[in-house]
Amino acid sequence: MTYHQPTLPLWDEPAPDHRDRVVARSSDRVAWLRARSRGITATDVAKLSTERSVATVVHDKLYGSGFTGNAYTDHGRTREPEIARWVRAKHGILASDALFHAHGQPSHLATPDGVRVTPSGSVELAEIKTTSSPWRSIPRTYLRQIWWQQYVLGAERTLLVWEHHENFVPVSEEPQCRWIDRDDNEIHMLVGLASRVLEVMAQHRVA
């Protein structure tokens, strides 16, 4: 079967406010997990780099990855509210637990860690990570996650905030951060791969 990568949708009118595109909230974990299972999320897209990776994501979506968390993910969940308070105090970005869908694409989903609307009306996001290793550069998986979130919410940039720890103890008093600008070329590629995942998932459900 020949697959043609779709172009990003073009709309004659501005997209609805992202706040009108909330699907669920992580505070209602059952509803949040159910909604995520029906679409493709930033966590899923983080794994998408080639056509071969599509099969891996499809398998994980349909049958589960088998990963349920570990001490590192538990530490990240514990630290996230503390880091989010730092983000709010230093950068004015409020924490968010909302799962949004993209304009015109109800199956394209993202739950950024923070969202704000600037006085000019542009959307800015925050994404929080904890790491046991110092970064020489930002991991590509996180960049894909960020670009997908920007696409879903129509955001112009994202503040990536990360806290380095050793044996689950932060090594610095404050986390590090860097602004990541929107990249429409990368987004175009990710939308194509994500659409392919949803297409193959639909084929499996029909078979």
Residue 92 has what pLDDT?
96
**pTM summary value:** 0.89
Q: Are strands 123-131 and 114-117 parallel, antiparallel or unpaired?
A: antiparallel
Residue among 7, 4, 20 at smallest CA distance from 123: 20
- The residues with which 155 forms a beta bridge, in sequence order, are 123
Residue 168, classed as helix, strand or coil, is coil
Q: Residues 129-145: pLDDT tens digits?
A: 999 999 999 999 999 99
Residue 171, classed as helix, strand or coil, is coil
Q: Residues 52-62: pLDDT tens digits?
A: 899 999 999 98
Residue 78 has what pLDDT?
93
